[in-house]
Amino acid sequence: MAWYQHQIALPSYRRGFHQITRHVVDGIPELRDVRVGLLHVFIMHTSASLTINENADPDVPRDLESSFNAIAPEDFPYVHTCEGSDDMPAHVKASLLGSSVSVPVSQGRLVLGTWQGIFLCEHRNRGGSRRLTITLHGE
């Protein structure tokens, strides 16, 4: 069994849900040599999150963004407001979705369902580049 770990920087994305599966795969070249294992992806921020969801229909990311905006609206009477009106709702959304995903690996490939992809959930209007730590364990 071997361990591999890399950090990658994602480009800046607008607010919303963005498929980043290709960035993740490209960020860990050892993946292609692992017969069986587990890939863990962790986002190093508190106002963005990660999720696995449908990657086929572009309406799904749009509907997810709308749904989370309804769950954590900017006009809620938050106490923490010093970083802008989109900051505290971003923390709520990130807490609901989480800071990491794990994906099985088989024969050098991620074992994702037919319509699944890894998504960056950018909850800020201008979040900037986001950093990921990608850890692979396998043989």
- Number of structural domains found in the chain: 1
Per cent of the chain over pLDDT 90 is 100
State mean pLDDT over 91-113: 98
pTM of the model: 0.97
pLDDT in tens, 117-134: 999 999 999 999 999 999
CATH number, domain containing residue 52: 2.60.120.460
User: Would you list the DSSP string of 31-94?
Assistant: GGG-SEEEEEEEE--SSEEEEEEE-S-THHHHHHHHHHHHHS-TTS--S--TT-TTHHHHHHHH
Structural domain of 128: 2-138
Mean pLDDT score across all residues of the chain: 98
